[in-house]
Amino acid sequence: MKKTAMTDVILKAKADKQLRWEQIAEHAGLAPEFTTSACLGMNSMPKENADKLCAALALPAEVSAALQEFPHKSWDKWVPTDPVIYRLYEIVAVYGETIKQIIHEKFGDGIMSAIDFSMHIEKVPDPKGDRVKLTMNGKFLPYKTW
**What is the Cα Rg of the chain in Å?**
16
**CATH H-level, domain 3-68: superfamily:** lambda repressor-like DNA-binding domains (1.10.260.40)
Rounded Cα–Cα distance for residues 30 and 19 (Å)? 15
CATH (one of 3.30.43, 3.30.1160, 3.30.160, 3.30.420) for 83-138: 3.30.1160
DSSP H stretches of helix in the chain: 3-17, 21-28, 32-39, 47-57, 61-68, 83-107
- Closest residue by Cα to residue 7 from 69, 87, 55: 69
Rounded Cα–Cα distance for residues 69 and 49 (Å)? 13
For the cut 60, the answer to whether the pLDDT of residue 143 exceeds it is no
pLDDT of residue 114: 63
Query: What does the pLDDT look like over 10-30, one tens digit per residue?
Result: 999 999 999 999 999 999 999
Query: What does the pLDDT look like over 48-104, one tens digit per residue?
Result: 999 999 999 999 999 999 999 999 876 666 777 887 678 768 878 888 888 778 878
Where do the structural domains in the chain lie, given as residue ranges? Answer: 3-68, 83-138
Active site residues: 87, 90, 113
